[in-house]
Structure 1
């Protein structure tokens, strides 16, 4: 009997994973990278449209917000200006004058959520969402009502913290990219169980380029066993229907594929070889099942950049070494630079000049090597008013390096 228990547990886990996978396919998930501007019609209107258009009933949860009343009010107003009938659901642990536990279990509120055609989660601290709706890993009646909305084809949307909870496992409280690269990784601290509204094999992250979160995403994927992830930039969103992804909003998202990546176990720190990165810009579509990307229509009418083509004419002429690859938007700048120069590779560093208290290894840094490989290709367009690139299948190696301490010393007078 005892020998059967592990098998039963494994089968139950497999069934549960399959259920999550199927549930994630029924509706639409709109994963917003955070810092969503009120005038971003592409994102706000899409939420309303996916919820049914004018008159769509959208339940707004500001559960994660430090100021839930204000956060919910702004979201409700943005949705209602686009034709929705949005309403705040006062399940807000951080709002002192609200009996949120009573609201969490209120049959009338639960029924109202279940009857909605859309659900929207605010930003803030994502641990409040999972600890409130899924305490101890067990779904509450309110969470089951939210899942009903998705199961019947509705939309679940979330920005920032509300985006973090979309995958099966999520970052819980992991603001320090370098510490995670150096090995800081604890359950219920840096990571936790998410709510699993997207495909079970996809990991999502937000504020991705602005905050250099490739530094935390790569080691997290390796530790959690993910081979596919999507890092979504601020004021942008990924609309995910089953295994189809569409990027909308102001910028884009980085698709990370580790299916062919390897690590050297002999090295005493995180390392990676053969990762594959693609930058999907606004208007681009990607099929997670086939791996095929379709650039936005205006990109297809414009300039394709294929380093393997006989007529390849890169626009950029100079090599560049990026001294802080985790800086604001530097990763995608490096990817575009690689695509549009003749150089076969671009390198950059991830390190901290002034170590913080508690730094796991002050002298440890990481060199990122981006290089061209089979299928590296892209498109460029300025039709929307900016220098917009789509960059596909750039390879990435990450190598741990020992930094000098101090990195530099002042020159003294002769």
Structure 2
């Protein structure tokens, strides 16, 4: 185990391409970046379908897609749902050598628990295949993954996750809602996926507080974040990613219900870059001349959402706030009307901080939003306000 820790702690010269799920075959910028980081046309990329419900089918399609973008992709037949002893396959020295010598590896989506089950031995030690992946990454190769393949990038991952609201209400427990990931992204950054489409930004907070993460990156579908060896993040693809910074965050321990204040939340749009070490944001080319002037806001009405966990709602509300004359924006999260009486939920209060800044695109109605302040507190809703007859 000491050798395993040393392997994973060694500085990596490679890159990560962390995809939020539902990556389309025609999302050329993401596929082409993976191939380029693996060495360019002809680069050998190992496809690992361990998470998939149909590993042979999913893996075969991924091999075809990567090959169509210039890679020499090959399938790694290690998955709990493939016939045979997957741990024996994961400890095959010939297969491990093929992966070690490749320019990159790609993890398919599905169930992230199957990935860690396949790549770690029953005693928790690394299989030869996992050691080979770490060698590939340390040497300068690329590790990419979508959905489940993104979840395993951090040292903690969601495992048997509840709904977003239930996660806030009930918290998370090691070995149930969360479990160890593979840790390619390091120990300070927590990764989540399907972020905006499924309103998952809120469920990151209990995990980050419990496990001591300073930063959280939540990547949306058909989008990716590329993390280079100098810890610079670049967003590519259709949408973007949310960055949560808990450096200043505090919790009122006198309250039993979940609460947190002074979370800094940013939205990085496609084309944006952020250095995790320095905190410097470089907006995409179409936004460099679009820094927002707080004295000339576009929005002047009150900003409120009754469903902050809805599809892209959080980014829509943040975009209006950064370009508004309003001091704050409020979002609520509650269960549906299944029962009478008061219902517990949460209020999300977004406000500008001294270092908040926004950039507007010159070609579309899209924003890059840096360092808004977020407070979350429990609230009660009286439901319903009348009796059915």
Q: Is the TM-score greater than 0.5?
A: yes
Alignment-derived partner of residue 107 in structure 2: 121
Change (3 A) 1:410 1:340: farther
What is the deviation of 1:382?
4.7
Distance 1:17 1:152 in 2: 17
Using the alignment, how far apart are the partners of 1:16 and 1:64 within structure 2?
23
Is residue 2:367 matched to residue 1:389?
Answer: yes
1:77 to partner: Cα distance:
1.4
- Quote the residue 1:4 is aligned against: none
Q: Distance in 2 between matches of 1:408 and 1:76?
A: 56
Give the conservation status (yes or no) of the 8 Å contact 1:72–1:88: yes
User: Equivalent residue of 1:70, what SS?
Assistant: helix
Instruction: Please say if residues 79 and 115 of structure 2, whose CA atoms lie closer than 8 Å, have aligned partners that are also in contact.
Output: no
Separation in 2 of the partners of 1:99 and 1:18? 28
Secondary structure of residue in 1 paired with 2:332 = strand
* Aligned match for 1:325, one of 304, 308, 311: 308
Q: Distance in 2 between matches of 1:171 and 1:89?
A: 24
Distance 1:128 1:173 in 2: 12
Give 1:20 deviation, angstroms.
Answer: 3.2
The CA RMSD over aligned residues, in Å, is 2.1
Pairwise mapping of residues 11-410 of structure 1 onto structure 2 (< 5 A)? 20-23=8-11, 25-95=12-82, 97-135=83-121, 136-242=123-229, 243-301=231-289, 303-307=290-294, 312-354=295-337, 363-383=343-363, 386-404=364-382, 406-409=383-386
* Cα 1:199/1:102, change in 2 over 3 Å: closer
Instruction: Give the C-alpha shift of residue 287 in structure 1.
Output: 0.7
5+ long unaligned stretches in structure 2: none
3-state SS of the aligned residue for 2:150? helix
DSSP-derived class of the 1:373 partner:
strand
**TM-score (ref. length: structure 1):** 0.89
3-state SS in 2 of match to 1:226 = coil
The answer for the alignment partner of 1:5 in structure 2 is: none
Distance 1:101 1:140, change over 3 A: closer
Q: CA deviation at 1:241?
A: 1.1
Is the 2:59–2:75 contact (alpha carbons within 8 Å) kept by the matching residues of 1?
A: yes
Distance 2:338 2:251 in 1: 26
In the TM superposition, residue 264 of structure 1 has moved relative to its aligned partner by 0.8
Normalising by the residue count of structure 2, what TM-score does the alignment of the two structures yield? 0.94
Looking at structure 2, the residues matched to 354 and 362 of structure 1 have their Cα atoms a distance apart, in angstroms, of 10
The CA distance in 2 between the partners of 1:114 and 1:346, in whole Å, is 49
**Cα gap change, 1:68 to 1:373, in 2 (>3 Å):** same
SS of equivalent to 2:368: strand
Contact in 1 for aligned 2:7/2:134 (Cα 8 Å): no
1:18-55 CA-to-partner distances (Å, cap 9, x unmatched) read 753434x3211111100101100110000000000000
- The 2-side partners of 1:154 and 1:128 are apart by 23
SS at match of 2:324: coil
Shift of residue 125, structure 1, vs aligned partner:
0.3
User: In the superposition, relative to structure 1, how do residues 288 and 18 fare at CA in structure 2: closer, same or farther (>3 Å)?
Assistant: farther
Query: Is residue 353–residue 407 contact of structure 1 (8 Å, CA) maintained in 2?
Result: no
| Alpha carbons of structure 1 residues 94 and 204: separation in structure 2 relative to 1, 3 Å | same
Distance of 1:175 and 1:77 partners within structure 2: 34
Q: 1:107 Cα deviation (Å)? A: 2.3
Three-state SS of the structure 2 residue aligned to 1:290 is: coil
For 1:6, the equivalent position in structure 2 comes to none
Structure 1: gaps (5+ residues): 1-8
* Aligned equivalents of 1:85, 1:175: Cα separation in 2: 39
